[in-house]
Structure 1
C-alpha cells in the first residue's frame, strides 16, 4: 500500500532566502512547530536525526538517510520503521523558483510498506503538521 501527503504554498521570497531558513536547523525550535529538530551532516548517504511533533499526535525521533540534497532546490530523506518495507516514508522539501521573486514550496511524503494501512488514519495529523510548518516558513521568509 502507498499513501502520499502533498502540500504546497506560494512564498513571496526568493528561493535562496527560503532555503537559508529551511536549512538553518539550529533555529527550528524558534519557528517550526512541526519539525522540532534536524541534526547531522546533511549529505547524500548520511544518516540524520529528525524530531517531529505532529499536532494532536505523539512526537517521534527517527534516523532517516539523506537521499537528495540539491541547494536551493531539494532536500529529501528516507526513513523506515525497523526494517525496510514495513513502514517507510520518503520526505521531500522542494523549492521551485517561479522567476518572479516568489518560490513555490512543496512538502510531501510518500509512505509505503505493509503497515501503511494500519497507520493511515494517523497521517492526517502529519498533513496538518506539514501545512502548519509551510505557513510558518512563509511567514518568516516574507518578513
Structure 2
C-alpha cells in the first residue's frame, strides 16, 4: 500500500533540501513528525522519531536505508514478526523555473497493512498534507 503526497514549491531544490534535512528544527514547523533524531545522517543510522497521527503521538524507531544528498533519503520502520513494514522516502526534484517538487511516499507491507489502512489511512493522508503545507510555509519563511 502506497501513501503519496507531492507539491511543487517556489524554492530551489537546495533550499527545500536544507529545510528537510535540518531535523533539529522539525519541532518548529513539522506537525506530522515534530521530532527526528539520529546520530550521523548516513545510511545505516538509527532514527528515533515522534509521529503525530489521528490526534495521538507515538514514538517510532527506524533505520536510514537510502541517502542521495540533495535528492532523496528514506527510512524503514519494521514491526516484529512482519506485522507491518513501512518505507518512507522523501525526494526533492528540480522543476523548470528554479522550483522544486517535493515527493513523500510511504510504502507499507505486511500482515496487518489492511488494518493499518482502515484505522490510520485517512490520518496518514491528512498528516502528509499538513506536512506539505508546513514545508511550503517554512521554505517561504527561510527565503525571506
* TM beyond 0.5: yes
Q: Which residue of 2 aligns with 1:42?
A: 41
CA contact (8 A) 1:31 1:136 kept: yes
Across the aligned residues of Structure 1 and Structure 2, the Cα RMSD in angstroms comes to 1.2
Partner of 1:28: 26
Unmatched tracts of structure 2, length 5 or more: none
CA distance in 2 between partners of 1:43 and 1:123 (Å) = 29
User: Following TM superposition, by how much is the alpha carbon of 1:99 offset from its aligned partner in structure 2, in angstroms?
Assistant: 4.1
Is 2:89 aligned against 1:112?
A: no
Kindly tell me the number of residue pairs found equivalent between the two proteins: 139
**CA shift at 1:50, angstroms?**
1.5
**How much has 1:7 moved relative to structure 2?**
0.5
- The aligned residue for residue 6 of structure 1 is 4
| Moved segments of 4+, more than 6 Å | none
| Residue aligning to 1:92 | 89
Structure 1 gaps, min length 5 = none
Separation in 2, partners of 1:99, 1:67: 29
Aligned pairs for 1:63-142 within 5 A: 63-83=61-81, 85-121=82-118, 122-142=120-140
Give a deviation string over 1:44-99, Cα, whole Å, max 9, x none.
Answer: 11211111102x3421211111111112110101111124x210100011000114
Q: Distance in 2 between matches of 1:7 and 1:22?
A: 15
Helix, strand or coil at the partner of 1:34: coil
Q: TM-score, normalised to structure 2's length?
A: 0.91
**C-alpha distance in 1 between matches for 2:11 and 2:88:** 23
| Structure showing the higher helix proportion among its residues | 2
